[in-house]
Amino acid sequence: MLIVFNPTAGSRRRSRLERAHALLPGARLAETAGPGHAEALAREAAALGEDCVVAAGGDGTVAEVAAGLMGGGTALGILPLGTANVLSLELGLPRVPEAAAAVLRGGRDVALWPGVARFGDGRSLLFVQMLGAGFDADVVRRLDIGLKRRIGRAAYVWQARLELRRYGFPPIRVRLDDGEALRASALVVSKGRLYAGPFLLAPGATPLRPGFHVALIGGGWGRAALAGALLPLNLLPRLPGLVLHQASHVVLEGGGVPIQADGDFTGHLPVTVTDAPAPLRIRLPGDGRGR
């Protein structure tokens, strides 16, 4: 077993890592040196026949490790150490280090279906939970990482308030499964039920099956402010102007519209979103709690 960890995550997260590592005899620890390194470490471990590679961090680290494991038989494990850890919440993975280590030792492996975003410049990017275009991506793009490390999720609330005054909400053109063109001012392409933490967005979605739930949102700053107010109340699906669709092929266009995937800014539209060519194995609790 290989554990991939970002050494810039802070002393508290390192302490939690060490608690889990102590309960995983024989597990090796590899620290990342920058963006993309987690993917390279995972790919190398898979090529060497490692049974499981553990992403010790947040959703961005999980997505990088997952990308390195695609196409092989090595399982993805998760040690939730990030700010939101949406995928781990989605799948019922424990946050307590000792309980997370127990899952990594004795859990069951099931199929996880990531999404793949293909950009207009030829890049492709794997994501495990969701891709957002519009206002939320602009918040992520401008987020003060130092503030995030100090106050956690509250940093997103602070940044969202700042962006409400300056983001222009340019229109997004949407095509789902070659259907008629739709329009939105913001949207989320989701693999799972949850968004931005433990908050419900798409009740019928699951990353354990192919396909996406696509939330289209109309309106400008007023609608975005209302979404922010409904989010902590777990009422986001009731947002006026929010419409949910199911699709397996999503094409998004819009000049200058930012994109975020699994909480990391990734560029601008246009982008095409499909399922990965095949699932990968992910290690879940053996008691069947994972969805």
- pLDDT for 193-240, tens place per residue? 999 999 999 999 999 999 999 999 999 999 999 999 999 999 999 999
Question: What letter does residue 7 receive in the DSSP assignment?
Answer: G
Compute φ and ψ for 270, nearest 5 degrees.
-85, 160
pLDDT at 148: 85
**Is residue 89 a contact partner of residue 198, using CB atoms and an 8 Å limit?**
yes
Which amino acid is it at 75?
A: A
Alpha helices (H) along the chain: 11-21, 37-47, 59-69, 86-90, 97-106, 135-142, 145-151, 154-164, 221-230
Instruction: Tell me the average pLDDT across 25-41.
Output: 95
Locate tokens 């390194």: which residue? 37
Fold assignment, 2-113+278-284:
Rossmann fold (3.40.50)
Query: Quick one: pLDDT band at residue 42, thresholds 50, 70, 90?
Result: very high
Q: What would the two tokens of residue 171 be?
A: 């229109």
Q: For domain 116-275, give the CATH number.
A: 2.60.200.40
| pLDDT value at 270 more than 80 | yes
Q: How do residues 89-116 score in pLDDT, each as one tens digit?
A: 999 999 999 999 999 999 999 999 999 9
**Is residue 222 a contact partner of residue 101, using CB atoms and an 8 Å limit?**
no
Show me where the domains of the chain are located: 2-113+278-284, 116-275
Quick one: what percent of the chain has pLDDT higher than 70? Answer: 98
151 HSE (CA, 13 A, CB side): 9
pTM given for the model: 0.94
Compute φ and ψ for 282, nearest 5 degrees.
-130, 140
Q: CB 190: neighbour CB atoms within 10 A? A: 24
Q: Count the helices and strands in the chain (H runs, E runs).
A: 9, 20
Q: How do residues 108-161 score in pLDDT, each as one tens digit?
A: 999 999 999 999 999 999 999 999 999 999 999 999 888 888 888 888 999 999
